[in-house]
Amino acid sequence: MFKTHTCGELRHTHAGHTVQLAGWVHRRRDHGGVIFIDLRDRFGLTQVVINPTHTSASDFKRSESIRNEFVLQIEGEVALRPEGMSNTKVATGAIEVMASKVTILNPAKTPPFMIDDDGDNVDEAMRLRYRYLDLRRERMSRNLNIRHRLIKFMRDYLDQRGFLEVETPILFKSTPEGAREYLVPSRVHPGEFYALPQSPQQLKQLLMVGGIERYFQIARCFRDEDQRADRQPEFTQLDMEMSFIDRDDILALVEGLLTQFCEDFAELHGRSLMFKPFLRLPFHEVMERYGRDKPDVRYGMELFDVSAATRGSEFLPFQVANVKGICVQGCAGYTRKQTDELTEFAKKAGAKGLVVLWHDADGVRKSGAGTKLSDAEKTAITAAAGSKAGDLILLVADDDRERANNALGELRHELGIRLKLGKPDQLAFLWVVDFPSFVRDSETGHWAANHHLFTAPKDEYLDNLEADPGAARSKQYDLVCNGYEVAGGSIRIHRRDVQERVMKILGLSMEEAYKKFGHMLDAFEYGAPPHGGIAPGVDRLAMLFAGAPNIREVIAFPKNQQAADVMLGVPSPAAEKQIKELHIRLA
């Protein structure tokens, strides 16, 4: 061992002990006659004093060449700091180590950016190119620690409840129903391919047929889709599946896990739960109130409906079936230019236009056609909006209610971000339940599974499933936090006949269905238990707990928006020999 203690460990009680420390030079302060070094390892900082009174002349001479990020081993005696010299900002601030021996284990070039600077002020491309240096910074060390705590907590929590962790293969079967996949050519089977799993969905259901009953896995998933701040080509989910349970059992389990984690590790992330228990709303209500299936519910600004009050309005835009709006508090000072910009935004989000009302001391005012609004309408609007002087009211009118909801939902979301309405230290969890089973593909007009084709419709819709697919609600559930989808799952279909009916509605011929999912259909015939599951996203949860702006901050080696790793040079061309062996040819 190079060290007897970590750099975060020594206290005044260690005074007089001879210790060995090893780590990196965080900062050095060379006073000519005496040199102070803040020695850093993952556990903290300890001040090392290199003084000729304690150190040999040759060691002192050599110590003058020490620079930041050199790797050192220090042997010395722990001493209480002189009277009035302790540093309360550091855990080890009461002591210092008087070096008797200084060993330079490895010198270091000057880093391209500062390690002792914890701010978010270095270009991310630079940080990723030198990720091994970035990881030394406190922010990354802290984020990875939070991630580790979360995963450890998940494992322990589920283990205590009888779950079995099972690994499923990474070399899997292509299932082109879902996201675009990463393909791996087979050397042994010319012209055939493995696919990396988008999720272990089918395998975990087969584990249920296999009698595992309670399964989980910290599962890596792969999707070859374009990146976002909360999306990486490979990401990690807490994949879970249970047999002989219903929806509420799963919700209670996950809610319990996350609630307890937040409470046990509050000191770690400084964030608190806003809702205990979590909010729970049906999908249609979420859309009516927030206009978005993953709303940030840390703030209100809910959609209101004035369709009844505007019926028969003289104001042309209001002569439609639905008039809904949001009230933006304190924004009556917005200029015409600003509201025009909001109108543009609303149009991009699908609205035909945006009616803007300024609620000021004299009442409700509107530029242009404002006079067409009757006093009764204005009163009804301010009542529904709950607005007061100083607020801005935004209204969207549309015969298509969904379109009005969506546009307002986008506006609400955008304004929530711009106005910083969500408090960063709060976590607002919301369960969204009772999703539609099927949605119509806007291009083909065909029915598509809202979640995936293994999701069970609620029992009361089974009789009319084929007659009216659009009316069916499913046993799907999503968990939303601060505007992010952090988990999704469902109770699954466990009977072959129901599964085949759903496949038929989705337009799969029985031949196709059997070719793609025959293993599932077969398995369901051998006593598949009722089962369901969920998959909380580990990266997104860690991001929220760490207060990070994107999931790259909680992933040690993330890829950039081009799905590349600039440090490693990934992806890279393959040798001709390899390509040949795989029986593929480049275009």
Partner RNA sequence: GGAGAUGUGGUGUAGCGGCCUAACAUGUCGCCCUGUCACGGCGAAGACCGCGGGUUCGAAUCCCGUCAUUUCCGCCA
Q: Which residues bind RNA (CB under 7 A)?
A: 27, 29-34, 36, 38, 47, 49, 51-53, 67-68, 81-82, 85-87, 89-90, 93, 96, 110, 112-114, 121-126, 128, 175, 177-180, 198-199, 201-202, 223, 225-231, 448-449, 451-453, 550, 552, 560-562, 564, 566
Least CB distance to RNA at residue 565 (A): 10
Least CB distance to RNA at residue 114 (A): 6
SS3 content of the chain, % helix, strand, coil (to 5): 30, 25, 45
Residue type at 518 in one-letter notation: G
State which residue, 165 or 344, has the beta carbon closest to RNA.
344
* Token representation of residue 345: 């935004």
State which residue, 189 or 348, has the beta carbon closest to RNA.
348
Which of 95, 32, 41, 26 is closest to 63 using CA atoms? 32
* Token representation of residue 144: 């990875």
C-beta atoms surrounding 285 within 10 Å: 12
Residue type at 212 in one-letter notation: I
d(CA 418, CA 438): 34
Nearest 5 degrees, angle CA 268-CA 273-CA 277?
135
Least CB distance to RNA at residue 460 (A): 22
State which residue, 85 or 369, has the beta carbon closest to RNA.
85
Least CB distance to RNA at residue 31 (A): 4
d(CA 4, CA 586): 56
Alpha-carbon distances of 92 from 88, 144, 275, 391, rounded to whole Å? 8, 22, 38, 52
- Name the helix (H) or strand (E) containing 260: helix 247-264
* Token representation of residue 227: 């990146």
d(CA 294, CA 292): 5
How would you classify the pairing of strands 476-481 and 484-491? antiparallel
State which residue, 119 or 312, has the beta carbon closest to RNA.
119
State which residue, 247 or 378, has the beta carbon closest to RNA.
247
Which of 497, 454, 447, 498 is closest to 476 using CA atoms? 454
How would you classify the pairing of strands 426-427 and 272-273? parallel
State which residue, 106 or 371, has the beta carbon closest to RNA.
106
Least CB distance to RNA at residue 550 (A): 4
Least CB distance to RNA at residue 291 (A): 13
C-beta atoms surrounding 85 within 10 Å: 11
State which residue, 36 or 461, has the beta carbon closest to RNA.
36
Helices (H) and strands (E) in the chain, counts: 15, 24
Identify the three-state secondary structure at position 198.
coil
Contacts by residues 139-143 (CB-CB < 8 Å, ≥ 24 positions apart): 139/553, 140/553, 141/42, 142/546, 143/542, 143/546, 143/548, 143/553, 143/554
Sign of CA dihedral 185, 189, 192, 193: negative
Least CB distance to RNA at residue 471 (A): 19
Least CB distance to RNA at residue 243 (A): 18
State which residue, 52 or 282, has the beta carbon closest to RNA.
52
- Per the CB < 8 A criterion, the answer to whether 162 and 214 are in contact is yes
State which residue, 303 or 381, has the beta carbon closest to RNA.
303
d(CA 294, CA 574): 41
Least CB distance to RNA at residue 414 (A): 9
State which residue, 201 or 382, has the beta carbon closest to RNA.
201
State which residue, 114 or 383, has the beta carbon closest to RNA.
114
C-beta atoms surrounding 320 within 10 Å: 19
- Per the CB < 8 A criterion, the answer to whether 2 and 22 are in contact is yes
State which residue, 37 or 258, has the beta carbon closest to RNA.
37
Residue type at 74 in one-letter notation: I
Least CB distance to RNA at residue 75 (A): 17
State which residue, 154 or 453, has the beta carbon closest to RNA.
453
Least CB distance to RNA at residue 442 (A): 7
Least CB distance to RNA at residue 552 (A): 7
Which of 575, 489, 486, 547 is closest to 143 using CA atoms? 547
* Token representation of residue 28: 């050095």
Least CB distance to RNA at residue 123 (A): 3
How would you classify the pairing of strands 279-282 and 429-433? parallel
State which residue, 11 or 67, has the beta carbon closest to RNA.
67
Q: What is the signed CA dihedral for 112, 118, 120, 125, rounded to 10 degrees? A: 30
Least CB distance to RNA at residue 254 (A): 17
Q: What is the signed CA dihedral for 248, 254, 258, 259, rounded to 10 degrees? A: 30
